[in-house]
Amino acid sequence: MAINTAAGTRVSIGPRLSADLPDTEEAAITLLSGIIYIEIGELENIGDYGDEVGDVTFAALSDSRTRHLKGLADAGTVELTIGFDASDAGQLALVAAQKDRSQYDYPIKVEYVDGLVDYFAAKVMSSRKAPGGAEDVVRRNVTVGINSEIYEVLP
């Protein structure tokens, strides 16, 4: 596969999940790919996301050496910068998900121009308007907290 720009990348949100994702990758992808998603309109920027493993250290007295072990995996949060559109169905779904205080996550789908698709389960943590100055586009800044592994589906 060749390298690409981010132009043409789309992010969509699905309806609230009613249970945790299945334990196996195959079952999770089957579930997530079968959901009907709403595309988030006027998306300008997607922050970085993906697993980072915590560094667990152990200091052995006998050899005066710190050992590094892998701890918990954390896919982190992803920041979405969106041109504010009060009538966009995807933006309205994000706002509704942010207001939802249930224990369950929302499925997120990221589609790249080359056909690669990422799926993950997340909670919408914030949805803030950013009016800016006189010659700025009013934006909506959204923070999404990822609670699952990133399921990558090749084209």
Instruction: Summarize pLDDT for 8-23 with one digit per residue, the tens.
Output: 999 999 999 999 999 9
Domain that holds residue 93: 10-153
Q: Which residue has the tokens 């990348």?
A: 9
d(CA 5, CA 63): 49
Amino acid identity at 95: V
The pLDDT value given to residue 1: 64
CATH number, domain of 25, equals 4.10.410
If phi > 0 it is left, if psi is from -120 to 50 it is alpha, else beta; for residue 91 that is: alpha
Average pLDDT of the chain? Answer: 96
Look at residue 56 and tell me if it is in a domain.
yes
Look at residue 127 and tell me if it is in a domain.
yes
Tokens of 30: 């089957």
42 within 8 A of 130, measured Cβ to Cβ: no
Look at residue 5 and tell me if it is in a domain.
no
What global pTM score does this model have?
Answer: 0.92
Look at residue 2 and tell me if it is in a domain.
no
Look at residue 146 and tell me if it is in a domain.
yes
- What DSSP designation does 103 have? S
Identify which of 57, 49, 35, 155 has the alpha carbon closest to the alpha carbon of residue 106. Answer: 35
Look at residue 23 and tell me if it is in a domain.
yes
111 has a pLDDT exceeding 90: yes
Beta bridge partners of residue 55, listed in sequence order = 70
- Show the DSSP H helices in the chain as ranges: 25-33, 89-99
Instruction: Summarize pLDDT for 36-95 with one digit per residue, the tens.
Output: 999 999 999 999 999 999 999 999 999 999 999 999 999 999 999 999 999 999 999 999
Amino acid identity at 48: D
Look at residue 4 and tell me if it is in a domain.
no
* Number of domain units in the chain: 1
